[in-house]
Chains A and B, each alone.
Chain A
């Protein structure tokens, strides 16, 4: 395959990644709503650890485990941010 072929493949993967990340965010939004009603805290480190550990366990390489952990840290950072928006919006409606 040429560089262009590989790049097209990357573009296709990225499109799927964006889709998956947003699908994940939908779940996060729903959790934010439930947490809000239940009065649960936004930041739950034990659950974040579960997510990170599961991601590392599922890692077949060639990305090193530490890299997977860093990428998922960013995903969790953004999830927290989305959840905060939902929680403060819902709070405002009450």
Chain B
């Protein structure tokens, strides 16, 4: 941490800041300039709040050099993390991995139809929800555990893995018998009790960025899971809330290269939830892959117009096929492969 004192700060003020820093466990390097005195605080005994120093009399600015997250930072594993899944699927390697499926599982026939088509088009993971947290309590709430069972069966028939959202820590043991990846939804990104519970889970976690979460907050949430011992965390950019209302959220594509730099964890993108409109999904999917995403989460439905949830953002099978063909051109251009 670097503490810049105000021009003309009094000696007593400077001494008070040094005293605080020393008692916090820092070694202090003082540099008295012609107008500004700068204090370098080196070493970190324990967690600290930079505001405690910023608010002291005579302090002009405090610059934090180290990140508040450790396990999730790139420095922890400079070569990057590859999350190894069953059937040889690896997220974070050269291959861009596609997860596709409906917003929610509606019936055995529906999930079978979708699983067959997305597998044929090159998807490796079947995504879908059994438990649907809807804005209205009167909307379709999902098939629950039965939905997960149907999804698992359809996935197994077509060589796919299963990714589904866990809503609550109490669901984890039940979910583990159906899914390969436990998904944490955007609205649960800061549900620290759930994150802690997932830290002890034996399967990878796909952590979605909260609607209003900064990248640092996303990485701190990943830190929660990792601090419990589960290092298999996949981050997901799914759009953030901005002043633009044309699309439902704004897909923060820049977050992909930013996270690549700050963290060793794989990062995937979800253009379906980000845009909320199926006609805008393929361009954003292409952009995310071009920007270096390790994978995509795409909503695909056999009959989007009559989907029980999120039909507007679900791709038709033909659109998904076309998008996959386009991604097969883009991925090699940025040094990646795709099935």
Residues of B in contact, count (CB < 8 Å): 13
**B35 beta carbon closer than 8 Å to chain A:** no
- Majority-rule SS of A interface residues: helix
B5 to chain A, nearest CB (A): 13
**Interface residues as binary, B27-63 with A (CB distance below 8 Å gives 1, 0 otherwise):** 1111110100000000000000000000000000000
Q: Quick one: which of A43, A70, A74 contacts B18, CB cutoff 8 A?
A: A43
* Contact status A77-B27, CB under 8 Å: yes
The contact of B32 among A45, A69, A84, by CB within 8 Å, is A69
- What are the residues of chain A within 8 A of B31 when measuring CB–CB? 70, 73
Q: Does B15 interact with chain A (Cβ within 8 Å)?
A: yes
CA distance in complex: A42, B23 (Å): 9
Given A43-B22, A80-B27, A84-B27: A70 and B32 interface contact (C-beta under 8 Å): yes
Closest beta carbon of chain A to B257's beta carbon, Å:
38
Bin chain A's interface residue count.
Answer: 10 to 19
Q: Which residues of A contact B216 (CB under 8 A)?
A: none
B19 within 8 A of A: yes
Can you list 5 A-B pairs with a CB-CB distance of less than 8 A?
Answer: A43-B18, A73-B32, A74-B29, A77-B29, A84-B27
* A-B CB proximity, top 3 nearest: A45-B15, A43-B22, A81-B27
Name A's B-contacting residues (CB within 8 A).
41-43, 45, 49, 66, 69-70, 73-74, 76-77, 80-81, 84
Given contacts A43-B23, A70-B31, A73-B32, 9 further A-B contacts (CB under 8 A): A42-B22, A43-B18, A43-B19, A45-B19, A49-B11, A66-B32, A77-B28, A81-B27, A84-B22
